[in-house]
C-alpha cells in the first residue's frame, strides 16, 4: 500500500523518481526529539504576488499561482513540483501530489510521527496541516492535505527556509479547484 503521508517530502528530499512507501515503524526510542517538543513550521498564507504566473492542471482539476522566477516540473506520477531560482533542476522545494487515499488514512499512518495537526483556512479551501518528524533523520516537515473530487491532494515541503515557506503558504492560499 502506497501511503501519501509525507511521500512528497521524502521524494523531494531524496530527489528520487521511485514511489515511496512509508515505513510506519517508529525509530528506536531516544533517537528523536519527543514529538511534544517539536515546533510546527511557521507558514504565512499571504496573497500571491501580482507578477506571479499560474500553473493549471486540467487532469488534476486545479490551478495555482507561483513566482515567475521559479521553475515548475513533474516530480513523479501525479506530482508537480517547484524549484526556486537558486535551486538546481529537479531539486523541488515543494510540490503537490494527488492520490486516491483519504485524510483518515493519512492521519492513521502519520500518528507515530505526528507532532501537530491544524485545520487551516487559506483562500477558498480548508486544509489539514500536519507537522511530522521524519523517522530516520528527525527533521521536521510540514504538509497540507485536502480532499476534493474523490482525490486527496497533498501540498508538502521538506524545508524550514523562511523565504521558501513564504512562497509555499502563498501558493496554498492561491490554489483553486477547477472541477
Whether the CB-CB separation of 80 and 72 falls below 8 Å is answered with yes
pLDDT per residue of the chain (179 residues) written in tens, 0 to 9: 233 334 444 433 443 333 333 333 343 344 455 676 777 778 999 999 999 999 999 999 999 999 999 999 999 889 999 999 988 888 899 999 999 999 999 999 998 899 889 999 999 999 999 998 887 888 888 999 999 999 999 999 988 889 999 999 999 999 999 99
Residues 116, 35: Cα–Cα separation, whole Å: 8
Buried b or exposed e, range 10-29, using 16+ CB within 10 angstroms? bbbbeeeeeebebeeeebee
Whether the CB-CB separation of 9 and 141 falls below 8 Å is answered with yes
- 25 backbone dihedrals φ, ψ, rounded to 5°: -90, 120
DSSP code at position 113 = G
Amino acid at each position: 500500500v502506497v501511503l501519501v503521508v509525507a511521500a512528497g517530502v521524502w521524494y523531494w528530499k531524496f530527489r528520487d523518481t521511485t514511489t515511496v512507501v512509508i515505513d510506519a515503524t517508529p525509530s528506536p526510542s531516544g533517537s528523536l526529539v519527543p514529538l511534544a517538543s517539536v515546533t510546527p513550521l511557521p507558514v504565512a498564507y499571504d496573497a500571491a504576488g501580482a507578477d506571479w504566473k499560474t500553473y493549471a492542471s486540467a487532469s488534476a482539476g486545479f490551478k495555482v499561482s507561483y513566482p515567475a522566477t521559479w521553475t515548475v516540473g513533474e516530480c513523479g506520477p501525479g506530482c508537480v513540483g517547484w524549484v526556486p531560482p537558486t535551486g538546481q533542476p529537479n531539486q523541488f522545494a515543494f510540490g503537490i501530489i494527488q492520490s486516491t487515499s483519504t485524510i483518515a488514512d493519512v492521519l492513521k499512518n502519520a500518528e507515530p510521527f505526528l507532532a501537530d495537526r491544524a485545520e487551516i483556512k487559506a483562500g477558498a479551501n480548508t486544509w489539514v496541516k500536519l507537522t511530522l518528524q521524519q523517522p530516520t533523520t528527525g527533521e521536521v516537515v510540514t504538509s497540507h492535505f485536502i480532499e476534493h473530487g474523490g482525490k486527496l491532494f497533498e501540498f508538502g515541503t521538506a524545508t524550514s527556509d523562511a523565504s521558501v515557506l513564504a512562497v509555499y503558504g502563498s501558493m496554498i492560499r492561491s490554489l483553486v479547484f477547477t472541477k
